[in-house]
Amino acid sequence: MAGGLQAADPAATERPLMAYVGTFSSPLKDMLPTQVDLPPGNGRGIHTFRVDRETGALTAAGDYPLGTSPSCLVVNEAGTRLYSANETDRVGADKQGTVSAFAIDPADGQLKLLNTVPAGGAGPTYVSIHPSGKFLLVANYFGGSVSVMPILEDGRLGEASDTKVDEGPIGPTKATHAPEGSFAISGHDRTHAHMIEADPSGRFVLHVDLGLDKIYVWKFDAKTGTLHANDPAGVDLPPGDGPRHFHFHPEGRWFYSIQEEGSTIALFDYDPEAGRLTPRQTISTLPPGFTGSNFCSEILVSADGRFVYAGNRLHDSIGIFAIGDDGQLSYVGEEWTRGDYPRSFNFDPTGNFLYCCNQRADHVTVFKVDKKTGKLDFTDQYVPVGNPSMISFLDLAKVE
């Protein structure tokens, strides 16, 4: 994640690989109350672990207590700062959420709070860092808005340089592609910005609104930290399907979106010069013959660009798909997550292990990745964490 080492620093090679787990957390003493989607929030804030590079095992290394549900985390490229989206809607008179900046100790990976600022909307559920490293992008789920936060020289966050509020007709509660017998109805009550991230070039920023069934595309002004409508301004998904997360292929020309209520992956061709998405394939995240309710969650493309992994909540599985030479997906199989309600998952920096945050099971499970077949092999490791939401990694051996 970070730059090269000083060759004359042998101590650096002994520094650990760290994992940070964001959680849904109940109010703690002297902290503001919070709204979580599975009360009570069993997490204690941001949980810190050391990672065994050979076995993938996680060893608890403390936590940063935070009662405002730091459900999404991102580490900067230099490995010196961590940012959290604090998924509350009860801060201030205007009932916003917040985002926080932390300094990371290069020796042991422990966190020190730098500052916390308003998120520009309620329930911030996703944060990402612009490729320039100068801005934090925030999606506010309950507020139906997205914000841009300047990252100051010392890593602290400035007040929002731009906020956009989603508007438009709300999609139907019945998803176009819902499995037979599905009662998967979640976000079609209002606007819900669920994820925001820049394209690889940083020229465009994309975000999804689940309630509007829409993917927005913005031109990004890296001088002012502002978003400007692209032409076209985005693309619509089938009514009710509910786009949640997305991931670019490493080559940058294919874009995969996962739909929470439709239980689908949509493949788009991406034109990086125009910021244009062109739909080409829709495929179910579930095994053939599935009926009933399912809520999709995470989607990741493997670093080698060969496989797509899709999270299924209620089915409690990770769907595995092979990527063809043309970017199209074919179903490989699925792996049971060994827990309830897999909210997200992530690869370690080598791609050898996948870690799944089973939100309602209060644990993280560890899988060995077969890079030839894409399949996952459970390592029999359960790691207790209250209501885990997201896991991020930092190799301190690579931090200068």
CATH number of the domain to which 103 belongs: 2.130.10.10
The answer as to whether 356 is a domain residue is yes
DSSP element (H, E) containing 331: strand 329-336
Beta carbons within 10 angstroms of residue 328's beta carbon:
14
pTM: 0.95
Instruction: Convert the pLDDT of each residue in 304-332 to its tens digit.
Output: 999 999 999 999 999 999 999 999 999 99
CA distance 226 to 219: 8
| Residue with token string 């399949």 | 375
The answer as to whether 259 is a domain residue is yes
The answer as to whether 262 is a domain residue is yes
Average pLDDT, integer, range 220-231: 98
pLDDT band at 288 (very low <50, low <70, confident <90, very high): very high
Average pLDDT, integer, range 183-188: 91
| Residue with token string 């061709």 | 269
- How deeply is 159 buried, as exposed, middle or buried, from its count of CB atoms within 10 A (0-12, 13-18, 19+)? exposed
Query: Cα 10 vs. chain centroid, distance in angstroms?
Result: 34
Our count of domains for the chain comes to 1
The percentage of the chain sitting over the pLDDT mark of 70, rounded to a whole number, equals: 93
The answer as to whether 399 is a domain residue is no
What residues contact residue 257 under an 8 Å CB cut-off, 6+ apart?
A: 208, 215, 237, 243, 245, 246, 265, 266, 268, 299
Asked whether the beta carbons of 393 and 375 are under 8 A apart, the reply is no
Is the model's pLDDT at 169 over the cut of 80? Answer: yes
The answer as to whether 19 is a domain residue is no
Handedness of CA 340, 346, 348, 354 (dihedral sign): positive
Backbone phi, psi, residue 132, to 5° = -70, -20
**Domain hosting residue 91, numbered range:** 76-381
Instruction: Convert the pLDDT of each residue in 228-237 to its tens digit.
Output: 999 999 999 9
Is the model's pLDDT at 374 over the cut of 50? Answer: yes
The answer as to whether 160 is a domain residue is yes
pLDDT score recorded for residue 40: 67
pLDDT band at 95 (very low <50, low <70, confident <90, very high): confident
